[in-house]
Amino acid sequence: MRYVDFMHQSRAPDTSKRPARVALAERPLGILASLRAARRNLLEIIPAIATRAPIISGNTGARWHMVMDPDALRHILKDRVEDYPKSLVTKLILGPAVGEGLFVAEGAEWRWQRRAASPVFAARNMEALAPVMQAAARASAERIAPLAGTERAVDLHQEMVAATFEVISEVTFSGDEGFDRAAIHAAIDAYIAQTAKVSLLDFFALPAWVPRPHRIASRHVVRDLKRHADAAIESRRVAGPRDVPDLLDLLGTARDPETGRMMDQAELRDNLLTFIVAGHETTALTLAWALYLCAFAPEVQDAARAEARSVLQGRVADVADLPHMPRVAQIVNESLRLYPPAGFLSRTARKPDRLLGREIRAGDTVMLPIYALHRHHALWDEPDAFRPERFATPSHDRFAFLPFGAGPRICIGAGFALQEAQIILATLLSRFRFSAVPGREPIPELILTTRPKGGIWLTLERA
């Protein structure tokens, strides 16, 4: 856990200001400028006009379209989902690590895996995993408690990464000795650091068989990642299933109800790695940004804390408590709106089409800048403001809020992520008061996910 000493500051943040945001591009970027921006922070290639326009098109070596209109997004993600598969760049970045798992697979290969895995993520199974989330919330509170009232700031991003990795590793492999948590965590971080940045070859949409040198260099990391996962799977095969089945047990016995097909060793490994990579990174970011926003707006934090303390009475939050803490859920949703972990998605048009009267050719890249969609002036009141109450009685279009995607390919673990985030956030808010550190404002930075550059440095006091 990282912490730093800071002089005590009683001054609260000025909540008339807007929380941290990225200055979007005010003028068109050329090919090289776009590449530099994309490698530095993918959010910087989004034109500012994307928060006001329904669609933008351009050509920087390859034809592309950015879509921010809910009806057009419904067309892409739901009505014609088969005609807009995930882009080549997405597959090049994630494919080596997660193979043909649910996140990358297309067509019939995706459909049978989704049918087989969907029952695994049923509400009853997710609720059964709540004790693991509670244990992580309790452990996180115990780790940061010694810093309460000491004027030492802690990086809550790193703390939330630690907490959510405890959850995902426990619900995936139930603490098997064959699962080396530290090694897999280090391998994931190394893989993202080496492979997630866009290359010039990606910009020109060159085919996958053209080598990307920086991704070739990561092959040893992928081998290590898969080797550790295979060892854990083999260890479980020898030891047998747990009394309370975890994701490994559930996926290992999952069957496609239409064909009876089950996952082989490689498919099981690829999907487990998908859930490990996505399952802790995205929830950790949601929690880190939520705590930043609570410190940014003390009055919102105080109201949520009063609610959580009234319900929990000193306990760690449980699933049954969540419906009684609506303010916590609203903060989580508003955090996902302002800082969506998957802030930029991309698809490739498989067939000619028209979107909002715009010609779409087969092979065109269709970008879904979720960060801009969630801050669009035609879709949200005060789009850059932190206003969690907007989710008390939501009136937005379903396809204006896409932290987990939508349509048939909506994130299968969305319920798991929301349950975990609310349990941990409610527990921490009920026990601590978080305050911002002047001069340590995070910068939203999108490489693979929307991370807080510089960390989320907060001080805390016991509530």
- Six-digit token string for 210: 């053209």
Q: CB under 8 Å to 296, separation ≥6 — which residues? A: 13, 15, 19, 386, 436
SS3 379: coil
Residue 332's nearest CA partner among 379, 408, 395, 401 is: 401
- Six-digit token string for 304: 């949520």
Q: Which residue reads 């695994």 in tokens? A: 120
Q: CB under 8 Å to 459, separation ≥6 — which residues? A: 6, 147, 151, 152, 153, 154, 434, 435, 437
Instruction: For residue 153, give the H/E element and its range.
Output: strand 152-155
CA dist., res. 422 & res. 133, Å (int): 10
Backbone angles phi, psi at 307, to 5 degrees: -60, -50
Residue 411 counted as an annotated binding residue = yes
457 - beta bridge partners? Answer: 155
Instruction: For residue 348, give the H/E element and its range.
Output: strand 345-348
* Residue list, annotated binding site: 411
* Residue list, annotated binding site for heme: 411
